[in-house]
Structures are given as C-alpha cells and as structure tokens.
Structure 1
C-alpha cells in the first residue's frame, strides 16, 4: 500500500526545477536586453553584442524558457491546483504561451538577422526582451500572491462534489523532471533549442491526467429525500 508521501522527492525536484528555470529565464531575458541595448549605444560593439545576445538566447534563454514552461504545466496538471481551476494558474499559462510564441516567432529570427548583418538591434527588440523579463517577474508574483478566485470550471467541479483535484502518480511527475534535463543535452549536442522530450512528456501527461480525472469524476449528488419520508429498513444480516 503506497503511503501519502510517495513521490514527494520527485515533486520537490519538479518545483525546484521550475523555480530555477524561471529565474534563469528572467535573468537571461534581462541580459539579452542589456546586450541589445549595448549594440545600440556603442556601434563599435554592435557585432560582438548581438553575437553574444544570440548565444545567450540559444543556450540559456530558450532552454530556460522551455524548461520553465514544461515544468510549470506539469506542476499544474499533476497537483490539486489544476491548469484551468484557478485564474492565477491559467493566467501564468497564458502568459507563458504568449512569451514562447514571441520568442520563437519574433525575437529569435530578428537576432539571426542582426548577427548576419552585424547591425545594432532595433529599439523594439530591446523593449521586447525587457518586457519578457518583466512578464516572468509578474508570473513570480502570481505564484506568491495567488490572487483572484476560482474559475467556472472549478465551480462546476465543486457542484458535482469534487472540491480538490487528486494528485498524479510518481511516474508522471518524474517524467516532468527528467524531460528538461534530457533536452538540455540535446540542445548542447545539436546547437539549437530542442525541447523534444518536453513536448512528448507534456502530451503524455495531459492525456493521462484527462483520462484519470474522467475515470475518477464524482457522481452527481443524489436528490434529497422528501420531508417526512421513512428511510428503508436495513437488510437482515446473515447468520
């Protein structure tokens, strides 16, 4: 019989990895803003500054952002908080997805062009990096303050009799820890951000949790007996 403490070391590792990767993401974005700002203030250093910024983006910022996003989503899915049951968790997830899109589709391609041309960064690029660091800082505040109420999804669950989501098993939590570590090795080997294991684990965890919560969904509350009704007599016990 498993004890309630089973899996706690893995959960602690997952929380620790999420905090560390989020801090690295924020620090990397701040460093990126400084380097890009330097490319604008000192044209003689523009080529070196944007080159260092791209190296920072590939080997720190992108890796940390992917790890922060994957561990945060796994934490939400595998704990009683849920992903869409509290507004502050849903807000963190939405901000994370927007930042990943902005980094992959907007900031990184511009960095490649700047490195190729050795030109200073546009002001919008500096502002984007600074906004990314600020957004991660805001997400940290959300984690500490946990503002706002529960979402309509949580209220529906409570009406059905479920007041708290059951935590997931150890294998899913452990996968959330090991996937970012493996993807760091892939990124170093390939020379480009490669969150392959994290994407696979997120898909597996999401599907597994959805199925598990569906199987354990509480039954609708039985209607109350009318006033004055006589309860049925207990069945006789066998000898």
Structure 2
C-alpha cells in the first residue's frame, strides 16, 4: 500500500477563509495576551499599593473573566479550524500539537480555576481593609504563566520547530 492510498484526502479551506481564520486567530491570541497583561497589572498593583487602591484593583478583577475566556475560546476554535483546514493538520507537526495543548490547558485553567480566584479577590476587595490582599499573592501566577505560555505558542507559530510527528504504520 502506497502512502497516497493510506492518507485520507484533506478538506482544505480556501485562501480567503484561511486568511480570515488566521486573522481571527492572531487577533484573539493578541487580545488574550493583552487581557493577561491587564490582569497582571491589576494583581501586582493590588499586592503593592495602599489598601484603597488594592481594594479597587481586586474588585475589578472579575470583569476580566469573560473577556479572557472568550479570547481563549476564539483562539482555540480558530486554531482547530486552521489545523483541520490547512496542510499543517492538528497532529501532523509537533509545533501545532504543542500549541494545541497549551491552548487547551490554558482555557481549562481559566474556566475552572481562575474564576474562583477572581471572585474571591473581589469579595476581599469589597470588604476592604489592610488584610484584603492577604494570601492573594497566588493570583500573581496565572497572568505570568499564561503570558509565558502564550508567547511560547507565538514563537512556535513563527519558528515552526521539530518537524513532523512520526506515525507508526
């Protein structure tokens, strides 16, 4: 059996559709990074500012949940569509597979973990006082980790390292 007979024909998207998906993917990913930067600025400001400013920063945090989740989901959906509709595939190249895993992990963490932390921070901020930020230094990790992984995914998309994933026959 030759390679040509073993591979399924791939449904390729047209040039215009591919470009639209690529633009949406880049914009969503850029928005995601930007929202994470804002989240980081608010968290670090809350941890280092006077109690009144800290309380205000903490109360604003939950407003970022839906934008970051939507940006992550749009990035995920457009990335999957690009993978399925272009020559790169979802699991043909290591760099695409790693980007997919990064996106999936971050979206799941945002949906399942981040929301609770942001809501707790808002409650503490509303209560005010010098103890509002006590124990909330763990909120510094999500934006740092997310930005690091999203920049890594961006570098992977540009550099395209590691080549194809080998498939056993």
Q: Where on the TM-score scale, by shorter chain, does this alignment land: which range?
A: 0.7 to 0.9
Q: TM-score normalized by structure 2?
A: 0.82
How many equivalent pairs are there? Answer: 150
Mapping of residues 34-183 of structure 1, within 5 Å = 34-42=41-49, 43-58=51-66, 60-118=67-125, 119-120=132-133, 122-153=136-167, 156=169
Distance 2:13 2:89 in 1: 20
Distance 2:13 2:24 in 1: 19
Distance 2:74 2:120 in 1: 26
What is the Cα deviation at residue 73 of structure 1?
1.1
* Change in CA separation of 1:111 and 1:89 when aligned onto 2, cut-off 3 Å: same
1:133 counterpart SS class: helix
Is contact 2:13–2:86 with CA below 8 Å preserved after alignment?
no
1:136 counterpart SS class: helix
Give the gaps of 5 or more residues in structure 2.
1-11, 126-131
Is contact 2:60–2:122 with CA below 8 Å preserved after alignment?
no
- Structure (1 or 2) with the larger CA radius of gyration: 1
Give the gaps of 5 or more residues in structure 1.
157-239
Distance 2:16 2:91 in 1: 25
- Tell me which of the two structures has the higher relative contact order, counting C-alpha pairs closer than 8 angstroms and 6 or more residues apart: 2
What value does the CA root-mean-square deviation take over the aligned residues? 1.8
Is contact 1:25–1:65 with CA below 8 Å preserved after alignment?
yes
Q: TM-score normalized by structure 1?
A: 0.59
Distance 1:30 1:37 in 2: 10
What is the Cα deviation at residue 97 of structure 1?
1.0
What is the Cα deviation at residue 6 of structure 1?
7.7
